[in-house]
Chains A and B, each alone.
Chain A
Amino acid sequence: MSLDFKYGFDDFFRDETYCDDFTYRNSPAAIRRFPFPFDRDEYMYSVNMEPHVPGRKGSVFEKTFDVDEHYLSEMRDRARVLARDPLRCQSLPHMTLAGWDLLELIMETKAREYPQWFSLTKDGTHWHWINRPLGIDQKFTFLDESTLPYGPMEYITRQTQGDFTLQDERDGTLWVDAGMVTTQADWSLDFNIGMNFHEWHAPVPLAHEKGIFDRALKFLMKLQHGSPVRRYNWTMTVNPLLDTAPETYPEWGHMRTALTQENMGHMMHLRVELQTLYRLPRSNAICFDIRAYLGKFEELVTVPKWGRRLHRVVRDLHPDLAAYKGFLRNRDAMAQWLSHYDDGAPTSPGWWPED
C-alpha cells in the first residue's frame, strides 16, 4: 500500500517549483483572487477572527478548503520536504482519533464542494475516496489505520494544501499535539509539539502584553463543531519558498541578502496565511489550518490599490514586528521599491482589489 501520485497537470493545475529554479508564479486570475491581508494603510496585531462562511464567488474563501492552480505542485513540494525530513509530520499517540476527524472533514467537504475532482462514497465504515487531480483511488475502513498507507492525518494532509495542526483541549488550554507542517513561516513542529497555547506563541513580540493570546484562547475554547472561524496572518518571503522552516534556515537564510532594486519585484513575496479553525466532533480537538499564499511584489502592484497600500504598511511597520517577521534588514529597500507604486492617492477601506 502506498500513496503514489499521478499528477494531472493541465490548463488549470500549474506544473511549477518551490525550490531550485523557483518557477512558481500566479496567473492573472490568481493575482485577482489573492487574499491581500491589509484592509487599511497600516498594520498592528489583532485577533481579527470572523466566521469561516462561504465568501465572494471566485475568492479564496468561496469554498471551505480552497483548491487553486498551485494544488498539484504544492503537494509535490510537500512530498519532497517529507522525504527529506519525516519529523515535519508528527502525531502524539492520543491524537489518532483527531486525525480521523480531520480526514472525514476534508474528504466530505472536498467531495461536496469540488465534485469534479473529489469523490467520497460510504457503505457503513467502508469508504471509497477518489482524488482525480492526484490520481488516487483508495478504498479503506474508517477508523481502521491498517487500511491506509499512512496515519489518517498524514494521509489526508499529503493531499491538502496548507499546514495543519491538531490541538487537544485539557487543563483549560490547548495543546499542539499533532501536525503536518511543511509550509511554515519559520517555526518548528518538532520543537513545539506538546506545548500549550501560550508556550508555542511565546516568541511572538508585543502580542502577549496586549492580552491578544489570552483573548484568542478564550475565544477558541468556545469554538463549536460546525461553526469554523478564520483569520489572516502574513509575512514576507524571499523567493517562492513554501518551506521556510527553521530546520532548513541555513539553506534559505542567505537568500535574504540577495535582494536588489532590480530583482525585488520578482524575488520578494508577500506571504499570506489564511488560518481557519475547526472544532472536531469525536475528539473535541481543534484543527488549525494554515494555508499559505505567495504573491510576488510585481504581481501585487498590478492592482493599484494594493501597490499603494503595501508601500504604506511596509514603510510604517513597527520595527519589532519587521524583525520578528524576518525582514527588518530589507524593509527600507522594500519600501523604496514599493514607493514607485504609491502616488499618494487615498485608498478605499477593505482589501478587495477594486471596491
Chain B
Amino acid sequence: MTKTEFPPSMISRPVYGVLEPRAGALHLIVADGEGAEAVAELVAKDSSILPKSHILYTAGPNGTDLWDKIAALGAKQAQKAASIPTLLFRLARVLQDAPMGAQIYLTGTEGLMGQAERDVMALGFPHADIQKEHRGSTVRRVQCVHCKGITENVKTDPFQCSHCGLHLFVRDHYSRRLAAFQGVNIDAEDKGHIPPAVERFK
C-alpha cells in the first residue's frame, strides 16, 4: 500500500507528504499500522539514519500490525506500544531528551499523527518542520463541538458521539491543537431526522 490520496478539501484539513531522510542528531519516528511500510521506505532511502533512530510503533485501528517489519530494521531503539495513548506517554519522555536538530517523522493514521504532532508542537517545535506521511486507515478522530468529547476511529458520517450521544456530522474543519476534526449535531434543526450513516472513513 502506498501513500493515501485525499480528495481536495478545505484549507484547515491536513495534507501529508512523503517521508524524506534529513540530517539530524536524532531520528524520532512514530508510526502505526501500515505506517511501518513508510518507515521501511524511509530507511531504504538512507540506512545511515538507523544508528541514530528511535522508533515508536503501535498497531493500526484496523488491526494491521507490522511490528516484525519495524523490529527487523535494526534501529538503535524500537518499541512496540500497546495503544496510541501508551505510545504517547513514551513519546513525551523521549521528547524531553531530544537534542537540537532532532528530526521527527510521523506516519500512519491521522489520529496517531495528529496527537503526536500536538505533543511535539507543545514543546515549541514548529509543525511545518514535522514530516508526516499518511498510510492505512482513514478513520477519524472527532471532537463533538457540543460536549467537547473526542470519539476515536470514527468510520461513518453521521455518527453518534461516544460521550453525549448526539448524532454528529463530520466536518473537514480540523484543529491541530485538539488533533481532531469537528463533529456537529445533525438534527439540531429537525429533531430526530438523522440520515443513514455512510461509511466515509475506512
Listed in ascending order, the chain A residues whose CB lies under 8 Å from chain B are 87, 171, 188, 190-195, 198-203, 208, 246-250, 252-254, 256-257, 329
Nearest neighbor of A255 in chain B, beta-carbon distance = B189
B12, A202: Cβ atoms under 8 Å?
A: yes
Known: A191-B175, A202-B12. 14 other contacts (CB 8 A): A87-B148, A190-B145, A191-B173, A191-B182, A195-B12, A202-B11, A246-B145, A246-B182, A246-B184, A249-B146, A250-B146, A252-B188, A253-B188, A257-B190
The answer on a CB contact under 8 Å between B189 and A188 is no
What residue of chain B has the Cβ atom nearest to residue A257's Cβ? Answer: B189
Q: Which 4 A-B residue pairings sit nearest by Cβ, starting from the closest?
A: A253-B188, A202-B12, A194-B177, A202-B10
- Asked if A202 and B173 sit within 8 Å, CB to CB, the answer is yes
Please judge, given known A-B contacts A202-B11, A202-B12, A247-B146, whether A253 and B177 are in contact too, CB under 8 Å: no
- Nearest CB of chain B from residue A16's CB, rounded to whole Å: 26
* CB-defined contacts of A188 to chain B, threshold 8 Å: 145, 182
- A87: nearest residue on chain B (CB-CB)? B148
A242 to chain B, nearest CB (A): 18
A188 CA to B143 CA, complexed, in Å: 12
* B contact residues, range: 20 to 34
Cβ contact within 8 Å between B175 and A250: no
Say yes or no: B175 contacts A192, CB within 8 Å: yes
By a CB distance below 8 angstroms, the chain B residues around A198 are: 11-12
| Chain B residues closer than 8 Å to A257, beta-carbon distance | 189-190
- B170 CB, nearest partner CB in chain A, Å: 13
Contact A250 B188 (CB under 8 A): yes
> Could you say which of B143, B177, B178, B185 has the most chain A C-beta atoms within 10 Å of its C-beta?
B177
With A191-B178, A249-B184, A257-B189: A208-B11 Cβ-Cβ less than 8 Å: yes
Interface residues of A, dominant DSSP: helix
Complex Cα distance A212/B166, Å?
35
Q: In this complex, what residue of A is CB-closest to B188?
A: A253
Interface presence of B52 (CB below 8 A): no
**B175 — which chain A residues lie within 8 A by C-beta?**
191-192, 194-195
B176 within 8 A of A: yes
Across the interface, do A247 and B145 meet the contact criterion of CB distance under 8 Å? yes
- B interface residues with partner A (beta carbon < 8 Å): 10-13, 126, 128, 143, 145-146, 148, 166, 171-173, 175-178, 182, 184-185, 188-191
Residue of A nearest to B143 (CB): A191
B176 x A194 contact (CB < 8 A): yes
CB proximity of A226 to chain B, nearest CB, Å: 32
Given the complex of chains A and B, what is the CA–CA distance between A119 and B134 in angstroms? 57
CA distance A171 to B121 in the complex (A): 15
Bound-complex Cα distance A199 to B172 (A) = 11
Q: Could you say which residues of chain A place their CB within 8 Å of the CB of B126?
A: 171
Closest Cβ–Cβ distance, residue A98 to chain B (whole Å):
18
Closest-CB distance, A252 to chain B (whole angstroms): 8
The reply to whether A254 and B188 form a contact with Cβ atoms under 8 Å apart is yes
CB distance from B23 to the nearest CB of A (A): 23
Tell me the smallest distance from the CB of A202 to a CB of chain B, in Å. 4
Chain B hits for A249, CB < 8 A: 145-146, 184-185, 188
How far, in angstroms, from A198 to B11 measured CA to CA in the complex?
7
Out of B128, B145, B166, B189, name the residue touching A191 (CB < 8 Å): B145
Contacts of A329 in B (CB 8 A): 189
Q: State whether B146 touches A190 (Cβ < 8 A).
A: no
Task: Give chain A nearest CB distance to B20 CB in angstroms.
Answer: 21
Complex Cα–Cα for A195 and B175 (A): 7
Residues of B within 8 A of A256 (CB): 189
B171 touching A203, Cβ below 8 Å: yes
Cβ–Cβ < 8 Å partners of B176 in chain A: 194-195
Question: When the two chains form their complex, are residues B189 and A193 in contact, meaning their CB atoms are under 8 A apart?
Answer: no
Complex interface: chain B residues within 8 A of A193 (CB) = 177
Residue on B nearest A198 in the bound complex, by CB = B11
* Most B CB within 10 A of own CB, among A191, A200, A202: A191
Given A191-B173, A192-B175: A200 and B189 within 8 A (CB)?
Answer: no
Which residues of chain A are near B128, meaning CB under 8 Å? 171
Residues of B within 8 A of A87 (CB): 148
Specify the chain A residue showing the minimal Cβ separation from B13.
A202
Contact A203 B188 (CB under 8 A): no
Minimum distance in angstroms from B183 CB to a CB of chain A: 10
- For B128, B145, B166, B171, the residue with the greatest tally of chain A CB atoms inside 10 Å of its CB is B145
- Neighbouring A residues of B146 by C-beta, 8 Å: 246-250
Give the residues in chain A near B148, CB-CB below 8 Å: 87, 190
- Say how far A241's CB is from chain B's closest CB, in angstroms: 13
Residue of A nearest to B166 (CB): A250
